[in-house]
Amino acid sequence: MADVLCVLYDDPVGGYPTSYARDALPRIERYHDGQTAPSPERIDFTPGELLGSVSGELGLRRFLEERGHRLIVTSDKDGPDSVFERELPEADIVISQPFWPAYLTAERIARAPRLKLAVTAGIGSDHVDLQAAIDRGITVAEVTYSNSISVSEHVVMLILSLVRNYIPSYQRVIAGGWHIADCVSRAYDLEGMQVGTVGAGRIGSAVLRRLKPFEVGLHYTDRHRVPALEQDLDVTYHPDAESLVRVCDVVTINTPLHPETEHLFDDELIGKMKRGAYLVNTARGKICDRDAVVRALENGQLAGYAGDVWFPQPAPLDHPWRTMPHHGMTPHTSGTTLSAQARYAAGVREILECWFDGRPIREEYLIVDGGKLAGAGAHSYSAGDATRGSDEAARFRAG
């Protein structure tokens, strides 16, 4: 029997839904590159249900209990007295989400002698100290591509929201106003602008594909050059982020967080961007220096900043990104639409089926395996730890 400790975000304030806005989801069987969507033996949920909150349980309870395993689901993940901290020493498997991450620091891993598998319900496993997982021989897996398109759609929405000054205009309507001059005094057309992505993997390349019809100049930088992308979309390659940001009016960050990208967008790099450029970050909050972003918005170096990723998560109530000017921040929602939840819940089940049956987990799902980076992890990550400072997440509840 395995103890499976699953950390999910809280149910809606008004209670777990009894009905939904739509009756069904489009069926997605394959992604753009041909990878098949998750294919577990069975699912015990209806696609389109809220699966990512505690009552949804990722649709796993029946499956796990029928096999004799114990499932513990909680949203209480931070601080020494949390349910997560109390249950961790007996956990064989930990499941967490990027949106409400249970940070698996080296200290927590040391207090979890039975832990063998850490699964990310979604994509992005930086909330796990990957070096500690490598050293301990813990397998780390995520549901690669399950919500990549969800995030790329969110990026395009945020770019348009910033450039067209949508959020302040909407707020004018809510306030009962009709102040057109105030609304358009910071509104521009995206057409003709130069737009670049730092990171051109599944999300970054999907953003570029979706922006092509807007008649903009497209740019990218990535640790792996992608000639087919350059040819198919007429995209300009840059060898590093510095050369890209110098020419772009809009920069979107779509690269994983690891020691090489931590605080990449600091005062120096932001200072090399065009004055009045826009920065969109749906990758990880820690890729940006928190206070450098605030300063750039206050002094006009950035015309706007938007995203849905913070550090830590949830962000403390006094986090300056909540109150800085010209922002379009949301909680981490881009990759956890009801559509995405159906895929990443199915993918978590597929990973667990393979684990319990002794079958190989898909190569593209692996981040750490056999004491080294593997699969998607070897392609996208660097060994090391990006969890430092995550203990500040406890202040969200306290504040």
Residue 101 Cα to chain centre, angstroms: 10
Give the 3-state secondary structure of residue 197: strand
Q: Which CATH architecture has domain 148-329?
A: 3-Layer(aba) Sandwich (3.40)
Cβ neighbourhood burial of 360 (10 Å; 0-12, 13-18, 19+): exposed
Domain residue extents for the chain = 3-146+336-374+382-398, 148-329
Q: Band the pLDDT of 395: cuts 50, 70, 90.
A: confident
Strands (E), the chain: 3-7, 70-74, 93-96, 117-120, 139-142, 194-198, 217-221, 235-237, 250-253, 277-281, 302-307, 327-329, 366-369, 372-373
Q: The pTM is what?
A: 0.96
At 394, the pLDDT band (50, 70, 90 cuts) reads confident
Query: pLDDT tens, 294-308?
Result: 999 999 999 999 999
Whether the CB-CB separation of 284 and 199 falls below 8 Å is answered with no
The Cα 94–Cα 355 span in angstroms is 13
* Sign of the four-CA dihedral 286, 290, 292, 297: positive
pLDDT of 399 > 70? The answer is no
Catalytic: 299? no
Q: Is the pLDDT of residue 88 over 90?
A: yes
Other beta carbons within 10 angstroms of residue 63's beta carbon come to 20
pLDDT band with cut points at 50, 70 and 90 for residue 336: very high
The mean pLDDT of 175-193, rounded to a whole number, is 97
Three-state DSSP class for residue 46:
coil
**Residue 190 to residue 344: CA distance in whole angstroms:** 33
What pLDDT shows up at residue 393? 83
Tell me: pLDDT of 249 over 70: yes
Segment 193-211 shows an average pLDDT of: 98
- Burial per residue of 363-399, b for 16 or more beta-carbon CB atoms within 10 angstroms, e otherwise: ebbbbbbeeebbbbbbebbbbbbbbeebeebbbbeee
Instruction: Work out the percent of the chain whose per-residue pLDDT is above 90.
Output: 95
Q: Can you tell me the distance from the alpha carbon of 9 to that of 97, in angstroms, rounded to the nearest whole number?
A: 8
Contacts of 153 (CB under 8 A, 6+ apart): 210, 334
Q: Which residue shows structure tokens 């020494």?
A: 80
Is 3-146+336-374+382-398's fold the same as 148-329's?
yes
Average pLDDT over residues 171-199: 97
User: Of 313, 319, 327, 341, which one is the catalytic site residue?
Assistant: 313
Q: How far apart are CA 213 and CA 19, in angstroms?
A: 36
Active site annotation includes 42: no
**How does strand 366-369 pair with strand 139-142?**
antiparallel
Longest CA span, the chain: 65
Q: Is 254 a catalytic residue?
A: no
Q: Is residue 397's pLDDT more than 80?
A: no
Q: Which of 147, 254, 281, 301 is catalytic?
A: 147
Distance CA 33, CA 155 (A): 20
Q: Which of 284, 319, 326, 362 is catalytic?
A: 284
How far is it, in rounded angstroms, from Cα 376 to Cα 255? 13
Catalytic residue of the set 69, 108, 332, 362: 332
pLDDT for position 392: 85
Average pLDDT rounded to a whole number, residues 313-342: 97
At 365, list the tokens.
Answer: 């799902």
DSSP state for residue 228 in the 8-state scheme: H
Q: Kindly tell me if the per-residue pLDDT of 398 is higher than 80.
A: no
- pLDDT of 349 higher than 90: yes
Q: What is the pLDDT of residue 389?
A: 87
What's CA 290's distance to the chain center, in Å? 17
- Catalytic (active site) residue 223: no
Token pair of 144, please? 């690669």
- Range 3-146+336-374+382-398 has CATH code 3.40.50.720: yes
Q: Per-residue pLDDT averaged across 186-208, rounded?
A: 98
